[in-house]
Amino acid sequence: MNSFDTHEVLNQAAPFADVNLFRCDPALREAVEREGAGWAGAELDALGAELGRAEILELARVANANGPRLMSYDRSGRRVDEIEFHPAWHQLMSLLVGAGAHAAPWRAPRPGAQVARAAQYLLFGQVENGVQCPVTMTFASVPALRRAPALAEQWLPKILSNEYDPRSLPVSHKRGALVGMGMTEKQGGSDVRANTTRAEPILGGDGAWRIVGHKWFFSVPQADAHLILAQTDAGGSAGLSCFFVPRYLPDGSRNAIRVQRLKDKLGNRSNASSEVEFHGAHGWMIGAPGRGIPTILEMGGYTRLDCVLGSAGIMRAALCHALHHARGRNVFGRVLSEQPLMQNVLADLALESEAATAFALRLARCFDQPDDPAEALLGRILTAAGKYWICKRGPAFGAEAMEVMGGNGYVEDGPLARIYRELPVNSIWEGSGNVMCLDLLRALGKSLPEAGAALAAELMPAAGLDPRFAACAEALLDELPALVQDEGGARRLAERLVLAVQGALLLRHAPGYVADAFVASRVAREPGGAFGRLPAGTDCAAILARTLVT
């Protein structure tokens, strides 16, 4: 040691990097096979190896440390409303779009396509989450766009392209296109019926409408087009309609969309979110007049699926970093991951992560079967409930993972601080917790007998595997008609529903020591309280051995 050195650096775990994120996750691999996307295994394995490289994980850090900048004017004083990104952002976007996570099920539909894409998205969620926002909205825009054949003919070839083209140009000159969304306004937030933005038809034109108003949250302002909501008459009596608003008009001129500022967000800092005003912007209606909310909510179903997938991916990332650290750290003379209380905490986190993964891919399979009424109904219910519960579990999960690493987790040198800041966004974006729970009540209330049957078909095959689970599942199904009438208890209903589906999946498909621990800690008793409360007799070592295979 150099005479000027005060100490050697010892007992510091190496960074979690250069790991195949797919291969090290048995629960994800099993779910991909089980839910009908086994054919994508080789592709997902290659993607997992690429995303786990240290160089790719470093791009995530750099993209967040060097967030987007709004360039309102060019050097000549012309209004341009451009967003400038660090090259790391563009490299990550190229990876995500190149893998087809924005469009693969629409480009090449086949059984399991949504599940394969969901697994891709969950893997990307372990790397960087800002780039997932434009990819999600582009993916979700396709079903809505298909309602407007003329727009679809022009735009879908560019949207379905696997080339990421960040250039600010008319779509006819681009190799690929992205789509964003703008729904909320200052006075309304989730209450989009309070929107004041208005649209008037342009007489003698090409079907365009002139739009005047604003959006308080306008996602991905650099996108080539956005779907927005606007009132279709001055008084608003006709209700909201959905409009496709391109960044450039057909004649090559810029549309009259003015970016006021970028949002200074808690997390998701690599991604641009903005406030905008429409100064007579041109848009084209999608769907029927006054039916904008149902039209754009079709897009919302897919974005909410991605909120579940994204949260599952972020939780998996937090778990991997924490468990890897604990395996490489000695405390009080023993390896940290082998100490009983720490094993309990880590195993509890592992159960939460595996259950979220199993639920998310089962939900994706519902989207793979839109022509099956029972699957479509189950997907409608589980999307709302899962968006609430899985996203809600994220912040507490991230805080616990950070605590495993102690001070090393709390500082910006490592990934846990960034991961922790990412976790609340999926609870807020695309409908906050209360909105999701009210949506669940609406979905159940409109189709209760059929919804009960769909849930029973999902839960009861596991009832014979564990009497504790059987009692809870039967109680949930019996009480469902009364629970749907109790608005004040909607959060508890969503929680019970998700836990029951997760329990059924794990009982049927996971190793016994995983399923038993999950049922004992979350189904047979209230799951509240901190992580690390697994009952005596839980095989924590076996759970952790399965969790991260390196």
Residue 1 has pLDDT above 70, yes or no: no
Interval 473-483: pLDDT, tens:
999 999 999 99
As a whole number, mean pLDDT of residues 520-529 equals 88
Sign of the CA dihedral 404, 406, 411, 413? negative
Determine the pLDDT at residue 214.
97
Q: Show the tokens assigned to 183.
A: 């729904």
What is the phi/psi pair of residue 353, to 5°? Answer: -70, -45
C-alpha to C-alpha distance for 124 and 117, rounded to whole angstroms: 11
Q: Which residues of 379-390 are buried (b: 16+ CB within 10 A; e: fewer)?
A: bbbbbbbbbbbb
C-alpha to C-alpha distance for 347 and 315, rounded to whole angstroms: 13
Determine the pLDDT at residue 298.
86
Annotation: CATH topology of 171-291: Butyryl-CoA Dehydrogenase, subunit A; domain 2 (2.40.110)
Residue 236 has pLDDT above 60, yes or no: no
More confident residue, 430 or 111: 111
DSSP 164: -
Q: Show the tokens assigned to 28.
A: 């994800």
Determine the pLDDT at residue 428.
94
Which of 318, 288, 265, 323 has its CA nearest to residue 133?
265
Interval 425-442: pLDDT, tens:
999 998 999 999 999 999
Q: How many CB atoms lie within 10 A of CB 470?
A: 16
What is the phi/psi pair of residue 502, to 5°? Answer: -60, -45
As a whole number, mean pLDDT of residues 145-150 equals 94
CATH code of 294-547, in short, is 1.20.140.10
Residue 21 has pLDDT above 80, yes or no: yes
Q: How many residues does the chain have?
A: 550
- Cα distance between the two ends of the chain: 33
Determine the pLDDT at residue 2.
74
Torsion of CA 47, 48, 53, 55, to 10 degrees: 50
Which of 13, 23, 88 has its CA nearest to residue 58?
88
Cβ(262)–Cβ(272) below 8 Å? yes
Interval 443-469: pLDDT, tens:
999 999 999 999 999 999 999 999 999
Give the ranges where 250-332 is alpha helix by DSSP (H).
Answer: 292-327
Which of 346, 240, 253, 216 has its CA nearest to residue 293?
240
Question: Which residue has tokens 């006054």?
Answer: 290
